Amino acid sequence: MSNKILITGASGGFGKLMTLTLLEKGHTVVAAMRGPEGKNKAIADELTTAGAQIVEIDVTSDDSVKQGVEAAGTLDVVINNAGVGVIGLQESFAPEDLQKLFDINVFGVQRVNRAVLPAMRERGAGLLIHISSLLGRMALPFYGPYNASKWALEDLAESYRVELSGV
């Protein structure tokens, strides 16, 4: 069975790999990224050639998420993959640094989910996948802000699991 899958953060790393792998398995993939006509044009062109539909989504923007999800159309699966990492002494990070990190790693997931869930609820079907990290379950020194963002994502995902299970 082929699914239509939206992957955020498809311009590199796991996102690009997931996009190419799912296309090879026969799925329809909507690869979401920032700057598909700018800094990520080469990757967008590569993924388009491989068969992906490209949409521009900046997960830190409500309007961008809304427009990108609308352009994607009806979705069966959403993979919240967009994320960023940091390393260093926690005390060296300004509050604004943590806000930027959480805006992508946590609030970005919430923005995407809020955009896709009404249609999934209406259809009574859909799957949300959140790409997290082992550091969302354990703490390592020098990764404090990243750990905190992934711990928050883990709890957000658990809360969604319960709320969306119909229990």
CA proximity to 6, closest of 45, 57, 42, 63: 57
Q: Position of tokens 């920032």?
A: 34
The distance from CA 21 to its chain's CA centroid, rounded to whole angstroms, is 17
Contact 13, 20 (CB under 8 A): no
pTM for this one?
0.94
Q: What is the pLDDT along the chain (167 residues), one digit of tens a residue?
A: 679 999 999 999 999 999 999 999 999 999 999 999 999 999 999 999 999 999 999 999 999 999 999 999 999 999 999 999 999 999 999 999 999 999 999 999 999 999 999 999 999 999 999 998 776 667 878 988 999 999 999 999 999 999 998 75
Catalytic residues: 11, 132, 146, 150
In angstroms, how far is CA 25 from the centroid of its own chain? 20
Report the run of H or E that residue 28 belongs to, with start and end.
strand 28-33
Determine the Cα angle at 131 with ends 156 and 65, to 5°. 75
CB of 2 within 8 A of CB of 27? yes
